[in-house]
Structures are given as structure tokens and as C-alpha cells.
Homo-oligomer: A and B are copies of this chain.
């Protein structure tokens, strides 16, 4: 393989730039040319493609976001657009593609793969919601960002002896809430994987109050099936405690990546390029334990993420 393409797609994640750097420099080290596709699948369809040199990815390792920009593309879901994308790639002489993104981006990649371009998926998403890999690039940074924010919120929550509900990202996967809740010392963790009742939260807060706890922190994933507003209202009503909410939102997506995310990005992205160099079929690259793995792309997308019930129970026990 002589020329490969790389794009970032879907929601951005800290570490995408580190992955991009590893793609470009590994590619050049293997005597390949690397072309950057801007704005994900949207940019691919618009031909926003240019060569990336060694120095194009200098001084980006530590930056959040993605210098290639990213986008979600509706039109790429259509058959004829996918066909056109293949033609565009061929026109540029791109023989293989590295896609840095999450579930939706990998599905897009699979369509290209079926049309004859080998695709390597590098898991770039803060949500940690991919079944085939233990961790995704951006998750560690996002959780540490949440921990720092919890630390700020704890100061004011303690001073006012309030209950505070902290809503974090996670529609289907509660990993950010679970990890940040356990290691941030939350009194209650609400995640999509464990159905809970608002009454349970109220009971726990009352129990803590009676045990002498001056304040209460509840970490809630956005995907939980009751709203944060409803929770706040009920908590005030039932416990009599002043209750506030903070929705962390897009703050969780940015920031300089942590060492783990930069490392995971470097290892998986470099592996992805080596797989293309070795003429491998399409794969999703990930980490299992301490091993970098390459799973058949289609199979990877079918794998369900196991939920770590022990971790949740530990969080409950230690809180």
C-alpha cells in the first residue's frame, strides 16, 4: 500500500490529535503517503483531502479537539453517497483508510470496506461505549475532567450543606458516571445500566443526612430515564435539603489529553497503519487488558459491552 487516508469523525475526543500524529508518522516511516480528510465523511464527499507531512502533525500531541475537524454526516447514510465516496478515494489514489471515531463512524467505515477499501477503526470517543475494546481514546481525559469539576462542586456543596446532582455524558453507557462517581466519592451513582428509582436516591440522601453527612453528591449519566430537573425537585421535596444541579455538558469533550489517552491513541493508531501496510482486511483496533488488539470490523460492531457490576457494587460499598 502506497497511500492511505485518515479522518476523524463523529463527536470529538481528546487524544484524536495524538492518534492523527501517530497515523501520519507511522505511515511516513513505512514509506507511505498519508492524506488527511477534513470534516469526516462530509469532507470526504466534498473532496476536502490533502497530504499530511511529518511536520503537519508537529505540536498537536497535547491538544484537545482535532485539527482535521469532525462532523456528523446524514447524507453519507445514503447508498449513492457511499459509492461516490469510494470514487473520490480512488481518484486520490487512497488505498486504505484509518477512521478515528466511535460506533457511528465505524458503521460508515464498514460501508466503505464492503465497497473494497480496507478500513481500520481507531476508537476515538469519550463515551467508552464500544463493545470490543476495554477503553476508548478520550475516556480517561473526560473522567479526569469530571473529577476536577466534582472537586470544585464539592467545595460549594459542602459549604452550603446542599445536595448536588452532577449530570455527566453517557446516553447508553454509564462508564463516565461510574468511574467518576466511584473515584470522586459520590454518594449515589445513577447510570443507564442499573435501573433506579428516584425514591432510592431520596432514601440514600436521608440515610446520609442522619449519619451526619453535611452534604450529598449524586452523579447521574444523561441517559438515565428520569430527568435531572425531576430528580432535583423530588429531592428537595422529600429530603428538605437545598438541592442544585450542574450539567457538565461539552466541557467534558475538550482539554489536553491525559497520558493514558495519548498512549492509547499512539498505540492503536500506529497499529492501524501497520495493519494497512500489511494488507490486512478491515479491523477495529482496541485494547484488551494490556494487549493492543485488531478485531474484524463487522464483528467488533456486533460485540456488546459487558457491564462491570463489581465496580458498581464497590462504589456503593465505599461511599
Contacts and interface: CB of A to CB of B under 8 A. Distances in A.
Chain A contact surface mostly: helix
Q: How many copies does the complex hold?
A: 4
Given A254-B153, A260-B260, A266-B183, A290 B134 contact: yes
A102 interface: no
Interface string A137-154: 000100111010101111
Interface in A180-214: 180, 182-185, 212, 214
A250 B244 contact: yes
A186 B69 CA distance: 20
A253 B144 contact: no
A295 interface: no
A12 B156 contact: yes
A232 interface: no
Interface of A: 8, 12, 14, 16, 18, 21-22, 25-26, 29, 55, 59, 61-66, 69-71, 134, 140, 143-145, 147, 149, 151-161, 164, 179-180, 182-185, 212, 214, 244-256, 258-260, 262-263, 266-267, 270, 288-291, 311, 314, 317-318
